[in-house]
Amino acid sequence: MERMNGGKLGRGAMAGLLTFALLATVLLPGLAGCARKQALRVAINTDPDGLDPYKTVAAATFNLTRNIFDTLIQTDPAGRLGPDLATGWQVSTDGLTYTLKLRTDVYFHNGRKMTADDVKWSLDQMRDPNVHKRAADFAAIKDVKVLAPDQVAITLNKPSAAFLSNLAMGWAAIVSKEAAATMSQNPVGTGPFKFVEWKKDQEIALERFNRYFDPKAARVDRVVFQVIPEAPARLVALKAGTVDVVPDVPPENANEVQASSDLKLVVKPMNAVQILAINNKKKPFDDVRVRQALALAIDKQTVIDGSVWGYGKPIASHMPPSSDYYVDLLAQHQTDVAKAKALLAQAGLAKGFKTTIVLPEPYMLHRRAGQVIAEQLKAIGVQADLKVIDWPTWLSEVYTKRNYELTVIGHTGRLDPDPWLNRYVSTSKENYMNFSDPEYDQIIAQAAVSTDAAQRKQLYGRAQEILADQAPAVYLQAPAMVIGLNKAVEGWQVYPIDIYDLRGVSKGK
């Protein structure tokens, strides 16, 4: 999968993701005689927890920040990697040194020209776990050297099959050192739009950056990401024309969008999975039989029908069907309530037990799935209470502190199978399921450094089998992205990572 050809990488995973953005054209009043400015109004369902791409793991941030920051490498909608701030690269024969040629016409929004020193500083920050939330993605970096004002050499400790694709993720943004301290609230990047204002829980405003290296990239003067937490309100705004794109149209309302002569509907498979995550260290879930019982008790198609009106595909491991590495294990893991009851009886829980499913408040997809799951678990004597919490609390209590029993959540937008599957490695900071399996750890370690495509596919296939068998989570579905747009909006693309890339997006009169 990682074949190099003229500075581009082979095809990665396809499709989309879990949180969303929207565009609108608003005519801004100006002085008499001045031309009216065109704006895009983008609806989002939750405020980001900050705008510093190094300090967050939330998709809500990266959806926005792609427009403020650039990365060295970027992906297209098909998952192919290509140049961004780096115009090309060469890889040494041992796979340890990447030499990148940089653009010489790049400016930060504060007016300073970007150089190789900025790239080195940013990469050094990325691999520092005290600075960067996803430093594990860049842990393979041994050293970064500036070879010239437009050239850097990155040396790795060991080969990393996912390294180039990691450089295309939103958290691999190149940032300015002088703005680092205030980046979360006042981001300074090199992107096509620069930050203007953030009204908490209301909107985030950007405007065209006139010194962007591609003068045709930003086709509107202003972008406003409008926070509208409730899905019905987002749909009302779309119909009224006060927003122009709703990337998370409730599936039950898809027909309403299709029926409107002023709107258009786009449905794309998401590069995403929805899971019922299980805290493997919490009793009784430290017993694999209990986890397997949950998996057998849940009818995934019923979850899909009840949560997204059928706009999804059932899965049995932590990979979407859009991935070249996906293994279809559904045939071996059909719903079987009788077998689930027998497993609970073997675990000493014949009478069932009580538990709590924590659900993130902004995401109706997960809340509805949780309701369907709780109802299904009654059939095996499991009473699951539902607890809805806000998004910052979910990130803190569930993802970071691992203080939960069960939760329904989605994972989105990785270009290589390693970032998808390495979160289950026992030592991973992203392993909020607290899963531990020595064979799994060994497989992921081997696959991460392999340059043999066939071997990687075999190893990741076995990893998925372990996840399906050991059930550190119940793998529910790969959902679809249902997008509603004003018919005047053109150029909206769906990417396989968490970004709303507004380059090339326009709105006619």
The whole-number pLDDT of residue 13 equals 35
277, part of any domain: yes
b vs e for 449-476, b when ≥16 Cβ sit within 10 Å of the residue's Cβ?
Answer: bbeeeeebbebbbebbbbbbbbbbbbbb
Task: Work out the average pLDDT over 128-152.
Answer: 95
- Token pair belonging to 422: 């390495």
- Token pair belonging to 247: 């990337």
- Candidates 208, 175, 204; CA nearest to 193 is 208
pLDDT band at 270 (very low <50, low <70, confident <90, very high): confident
Residue 64 sits at φ, ψ, to 5 deg, of -85, -45
Residue pair 389/360 in contact (Cβ under 8 Å)? The answer is yes
List, in sequence order, every beta strand (DSSP E) within 236-376.
245-246, 263-269, 272-278, 312-314, 353-360
111, part of any domain: no
Q: Which residues contact 482 (CB under 8 A, 6 or more apart)?
A: 248, 249, 250, 251, 254, 265, 266, 267, 311
Handedness of CA 481, 269, 63, 206 (dihedral sign): negative
Does 23 have pLDDT greater than 50? no
CA distance 62 to 499: 6
Task: Please give the C-alpha separations between residue 4 and each of 10, 79, 80, 92, 102, in angstroms, as whole numbers.
Answer: 7, 14, 11, 11, 18
Q: What is the 3-class SS of 293-310, one letter each residue? A: HHHHHCCHHHHHHHHHCC
318, part of any domain: yes
* pLDDT (tens digit per residue) in 285-344: 999 999 999 999 999 999 999 999 999 999 999 999 988 899 999 988 899 999 999 999
Domain that holds residue 401: 272-480
Long-range contacts of 138-144 (CB under 8 A, 24+ apart): 138/166, 138/172, 144/119, 144/120
Does 10 have pLDDT greater than 60? no
- Token pair belonging to 48: 């980001």
Q: Which residues contact 48 (CB under 8 A, 6 or more apart)?
A: 56, 58, 60, 61, 64, 204
Helix (H/G/I), strand (E/B), else coil: 492: coil
131, part of any domain: no
The whole-number pLDDT of residue 336 equals 96
CATH of the domain at 304: 3.10.105.10
The whole-number pLDDT of residue 509 equals 65
134, part of any domain: no
* pLDDT (tens digit per residue) in 362-394: 888 999 999 999 999 999 999 999 999 999 999
Q: Which residue has the higher pLDDT, 241 or 452?
A: 241
288, part of any domain: yes
| Amino acid of residue 25 | T
185, part of any domain: no
Residue pair 168/497 in contact (Cβ under 8 Å)? The answer is yes
Distance between first and last Cα of the chain: 43
Does 36 have pLDDT greater than 70? no
Question: The whole model's pTM is what?
Answer: 0.77
CA angle 485-56-82, nearest 5°?
65
- Token pair belonging to 390: 């806000």
Task: Work out the average pLDDT over 16-27.
Answer: 30
132, part of any domain: no
The whole-number pLDDT of residue 219 equals 96
Residue pair 501/495 in contact (Cβ under 8 Å)? The answer is yes
DSSP string for 28-65? BP-STTPPPBPEEEEEESS--S-S-TTS---HHHHHHH
Torsion of CA 406, 409, 415, 421, to 10 degrees: 0
Number of structural domains, the chain? 1
CA distance 144 to 136: 16
Worst-scoring range by mean pLDDT, 22-26, 170-174, 453-457?
22-26
